[in-house]
Chain A
Amino acid sequence: SSSSDDDTTTTAASGGDTATTTEASGDDTPTTTAAAAETTTTAAEAMPGEGVSVGMAFDIGGRGDQSFNDSAAAGLEKAITDYGIDTTELEADAGGENREENLRLLAEAGNQLLIAVGFAFAEGVTNVATDFPDTFFGIIDDGSIDLPNVAGLVFAEHEGSALVGAAAALKSESGTIGFIGGVSGFGLIEKFQAGYEFGAQQINPDIEILVTYLSAAPDFAGFNDPAKATESALGMYDEGADVIYHAAGGSGAGLFEAAKSFSESSSSKVWAIGVDSDQYNTVDPAVQEFILTSMIKRVDVSVYTTITNFLEDNKQSGVLVFDLAADGVGYSTSGGFVDDIVDQLDALREQIVTGELEVPTEPAG
């Protein structure tokens, strides 16, 4: 499916696709409707969410990080518009020490549903959810909590990455592509890399893939150092890569700048691939033309879905996987640069969704 911003949402909303639930919770309900209810209601009706209060605990950076937190905020905004819920937001301090306190404050404030944005909240959610059994929790990017009132909202980043990997391979003329990871060593970014490599190799088994990580956890500077991303990307372009995918958070801006400056100075156009949100829409117009596509991780969908489920009294605990099938991940078409290969990409998508191809979560070797 093509997935410009609006498209995907509607697809998810109307398609009634399901998010698979693993058995982690031991709950009886194996499946969950991950789609937003068709409650794009008319103004006259009373909003279904009135009087319902939802708290959101952002991770370090909070709103305006142009990434993960913003994406979660977008889901919340949409829920406000659609359902008229009340919301309260808090964000973690710079050292990330007060995550649990924030959650607790939100719970004490009487919010019925709490959404924690980021795996680092796992410990806090576990503790607070135990103390507030009547409050429901959603936690993004974590599938480790086994409590009846917690939903772990995880994404199949590797599946989405496979699609953009394929796109990179299809668009590459040189047979060399690149991947820039922000922070290595905690497993998440390696998932992106694995999928990307897998997808690219589906198209061209001989493709050469250059990989660099900007820092290693627990040094998370790699998510915030665009200058290093720039140099890394220029290195890869110099080495002959003509498409580079980044999973480096705020450092990604450096990749786009590198694509722009390399294209301009070498007069051969090279591409960048964005991540998490449709970065074509969030970056400055000056670099838009270099963004081939973005691997979209629908944090907003997961948030919106969780709220929807909650309002429908469908409190699904356990792990909700937002995968390709659920349109929890995908790729963007903004800019129209991949219009010519949509068919091939969709074919690959189909193979993954049907299980014909299984995308690895760890890079080979």
Chain B
Amino acid sequence: MKVGNLFLSLLAPISAIIFSLAVGALVLLIVGIDPIDAFGQMVTFSADSTSLASSINKAVPLYVSAVAVAIGFQMNMFNIGVEGQYLIAAMFAGWVGTNVVLWGPLHITAIILTAVVVGAIWAGIAGALKVTRGVNEVISTIMLNFIAFSVIAYLLANRFAVESTSLNLSTGKLPESGLLPDLNFLITMFGFAEPRGIAIPGFLVIAVLLGIGYYVLVWRTRFGFDLRISGMNPGSARMSGVNPKKMIFYTMLISGGVAGLVGLSTLVGKLGAYTQDFPRGIGFAGIAVALLGRNHPIGMALGALLFGVMDRAALVLKLEGIPEEIVVIIQGVIVLAVVVAYEIFGRIIARREVRAAADALENLDTGAGVTA
């Protein structure tokens, strides 16, 4: 029974991915490109240590973003504002990192804390508005995203950017103590070639810890229980003694705090500064990954990696003269297909559970004479 359901749950994302690849193949066929060749190129290309490192590099921020979104999902809240939260957090973290120099580990800690706090504050605005004024968080976080862009624009140009001949406005470069070392030994120790030019980010460790922390917090602590039940049924949660307003606010704070970390793998990794062209769009992609992984820490890790691999593999398409936008289409379709698939399989599972319970009852009834 259990195994059957697990199988069904896995079948959902797998069938969605297959469906999306089929859609992608169809689109390629229509414009006269051999999809087998295209996908084959992608596969071959992604199978080396550089591609692996690159994929992980892309996956780490996606994963963190997905966790931030998932925390909101756990209590039926949509933090669409991860995008704004991580950008503004990364900017402040970059600024603090160059202006406040502390002893080694303290320095990096200060940077990370800054990002967490700024992300939490920005999300906290939406939380506070929801709690005190009943403002729907979807709309307020969308608005806060745009406002964040303006704030970043103003602060970066007028306050935070260092003098430079480059047009790419940037906070100062973080000193060595503000950076995390790479983890390429993870690849080389197995005898594979050192990835070229791209490293497995040291932030991976923090991402893994984050995933574990997320799991423990949500499923193993009373706080997580309160959080989940507030999402499942606010009325029951409230009657049981949980203050849903507080939970909403805390959830937004935590989600925002995690969102603040999204940009850090880039900030304290390779880039070492917050620049005008700091990677965008990870907040929105994080929503997709959270959906793909069903808010489960391992599911999301796989989802993030899948997106990371696809992004990396897309590079080869252009080299081969194939429009790489096909990858974006496939990703979009995956997201839609996966939620549809979960919905369908979810219903099948629920129906099976109810029936199983009913069957079991029948056995009970006919079995021992259990009566009131």
Distance (whole angstroms) from the CB of A302 to the closest CB of chain B:
15
A75–B126 CA distance with the chains assembled, in angstroms: 50
Whether A123 is near chain B, meaning CB under 8 Å from some CB there, is: yes
Determine the chain A residues whose CB is within 8 A of the CB of B156 once the complex forms: 185, 217-218
Of chain B, the residue at the smallest CB distance from A319 is B165
Q: Answer whether residue B371 sits at the interface, using C-beta atoms and an 8 A cutoff.
A: no
Question: Which B residues lie within 8 Å of A188 (CB)?
Answer: 167
24 sampled A-B residue pairs with Cβ under 8 A: A88-B319, A93-B324, A97-B58, A97-B311, A98-B311, A101-B54, A101-B312, A104-B196, A105-B319, A119-B166, A119-B168, A120-B276, A122-B168, A123-B271, A123-B275, A142-B167, A184-B157, A185-B153, A186-B276, A187-B169, A217-B169, A218-B153, A219-B149, A219-B150
Given contacts A123-B275, A131-B196, contact A101 B169 (CB under 8 A): no
Task: Report if A91 contacts B (CB, 8 A).
Answer: yes
Q: Closest Cβ of chain B: how far from A117's Cβ, in Å? A: 13
Cβ distance B243 to chain A, nearest Cβ, rounded Å: 38
Report the minimal beta-carbon distance from A275 to chain B, rounded to whole angstroms.
16
Please give 4 more A-B residue pairs, beta carbons under 8 A apart, in addition to A94-B281, A119-B167, A119-B168.
Answer: A93-B311, A102-B315, A123-B271, A218-B153
Asked whether, in the complex, the Cβ of A216 is within 8 Å of the Cβ of B150, the reply is: yes
- Nearest CB on A from B167, distance (A): 4
List the B residue with the shortest CB-CB distance to A109. Answer: B319
**What are the interface flags for A158-202 relative to B under an 8 Å C-beta threshold, 1 for contact and 0 otherwise?**
000000000000000000000000001111100000000000000
Name the A residues within 8 Å of B276 (CB-CB).
120, 186, 217-218
Contact B165 A120 (CB under 8 A): no
Q: Which residue among A94, A105, A108, A143 has the maximum number of chain B CB atoms within 10 Å of its CB?
A: A105
Query: Among residues 211 to 266 in chain A, which have CB atoms less than 8 Å away from a CB atom of chain B?
Result: 216-219
A300 contacts partner chain B, Cβ-Cβ < 8 Å:
no
- Say yes or no: is A100 at the interface (Cβ < 8 Å to chain B): yes
Do A104 and B198 contact each other (CB < 8 Å), given the known contacts A91-B318, A186-B167?
yes
Please tell me if A144 contacts chain B, counting CB pairs below 8 Å: yes
State the majority secondary structure of interface residues on A.
mixed
Shortest Cβ distance from residue A209 to the other chain B in the assembled complex, whole angstroms: 21
State A187–B163 Cα separation when bound (angstroms).
11
Contact present for B277 and A96 (CB under 8 Å): yes
Q: Do A216 and B154 touch (CB < 8 A)?
A: yes
**Does A51 count as interface, using CB distance less than 8 angstroms?**
no
Interface check A90, CB cutoff 8 A = yes
| Docked complex: B276-292 residues within 8 A CB-CB of A | 276-282
**Interface members, chain B 310-324 (any A CB < 8 Å):** 311-312, 314-315, 318-319, 324
Which residues of A pack against B, CB within 8 Å?
A: 24, 88-91, 93-98, 100-102, 104-105, 108-109, 119-120, 122-123, 127-128, 131, 141-144, 184-188, 216-219, 319
Assess whether B262 is interfacial by the CB under 8 Å rule.
no
Interface residue? B139 (CB, 8 A): no
Q: Contacts A108-B196, A186-B157, A216-B153 hold; do A98 and B315 have CB atoms under 8 A apart?
A: yes
Does B366 reach chain A (CB closer than 8 Å)? no
> A123 vs B197: C-alpha distance in the bound complex, in angstroms?
12
Query: Bound state CA distance, A187 and B165, in angstroms?
Result: 10
Cβ distance A304 to chain B, nearest Cβ, rounded Å: 22
- B153 and A101 contacting across the interface, CB-CB below 8 Å: no
Question: Is the Cβ of B166 less than 8 Å from the Cβ of A144?
Answer: yes
B164 is an interface residue with CB less than 8 A from chain A = yes
B135: interface (CB < 8 Å): no
The reply to whether the CB of B152 lies closer than 8 angstroms to some CB of chain A is yes
Sorted nearest first, the 5 A-B pairs with minimum C-beta distance are: A144-B166, A185-B157, A216-B153, A119-B167, A95-B281
Q: Is B340 an interface residue (CB 8 A)?
A: no
Known: A123-B271, A216-B154. A101 touches B315 (CB 8 A): yes
Interface string of B174-205 (1 = CB under 8 A from A): 00000000000000000000001110000000
Complex Cα gap A247–B12 (Å): 50
State whether A185 touches B166 (Cβ < 8 A).
no
Residue pair A95, B280 in contact (C-beta under 8 Å):
yes
Bound Cα distance from A105 to B198, whole angstroms: 11
B328 within 8 A of A: yes
Q: Determine whether the beta carbon of B315 is less than 8 Å from that of A142.
A: no
How far does the alpha carbon of A123 sit from the alpha carbon of B267 in the complex, in Å?
13
Closest to B316 in A: A105
**Which B residues are CB-close (under 8 A) to A187?**
167, 169
B169, B196, B312, B314: which contacts A186 (Cβ < 8 A)?
B169
CA distance A89 to B278 in the complex (A): 23
Do A142 and B166 touch (CB < 8 A)?
Answer: yes
Interfacial chain B residues near A95, Cβ < 8 Å: 279-282
Q: Which of A93, A120, A127 is most buried by chain B, counting CB atoms within 10 A of its CB?
A: A93
Contact B314 A93 (CB under 8 A): yes
Residues of B within 8 A of A127 (CB): 197, 270
In the complex with contacts A185-B157, A216-B154, A105-B315 CB distance below 8 A = yes
Asked whether, in the complex, the Cβ of A94 is within 8 Å of the Cβ of B328, the reply is yes
Distance A120 CA – B166 CA, assembled complex (angstroms): 9
Q: Which B residue's beta carbon lies closest to that of A100?
A: B197
In the complex, which of the residues A122, A128, A185 contacts B197, with contact meaning CB atoms closer than 8 Å?
A: A128
Determine the chain A residues whose CB is within 8 A of the CB of B54 once the complex forms.
101
**CB nearest to B61 among chain A residues:** A97
Give every chain A residue within 8 A of B324 (Cβ-Cβ).
93
A121 to chain B, nearest CB (A): 9
* A162, B167: Cα distance in complex, Å: 20
CA distance A93 to B318 in the complex (A): 10
Cβ proximity bits B280-307 to A, threshold 8 Å, 1 near / 0 not = 1110000000000000000000000000
Which residue of chain A has its CB nearest to the CB of B314? Answer: A93
In the complex, which residues 142-166 of chain B have their Cβ closer than 8 Å to any Cβ of chain A? 149-150, 152-154, 156-157, 164-166
Interface centre among B157, B282, B324 (most CB of A within 10 A): B157
Closest to A145 in B: B166
In the complex, what residues of B have CB within 8 A of residue A89's CB?
Answer: 318
CB-CB under 8 A for A104 and B271, given A95-B281, A119-B166, A185-B156: no
- Residue numbers in B under 8 Å from A216 (CB-CB): 150, 153-154, 157
How many Å from the CB of B68 to the closest CB on chain A?
A: 18
Complex Cα–Cα for A131 and B312 (A)? 20
Min C-beta distance of A189 to chain B, whole Å: 10
Contact of B315 among A88, A90, A119, A184 (CB under 8 A): A90
Report the minimal beta-carbon distance from A170 to chain B, rounded to whole angstroms: 30
Contacts of B319 in A (CB 8 A): 88, 90, 105, 109
Q: Closest chain A residue to B270 by CB distance? A: A127
Q: Which residue of A lies closest to B197 (CB)?
A: A104
Q: How far is the CB of B52 from chain A (nearest CB, A)?
A: 13
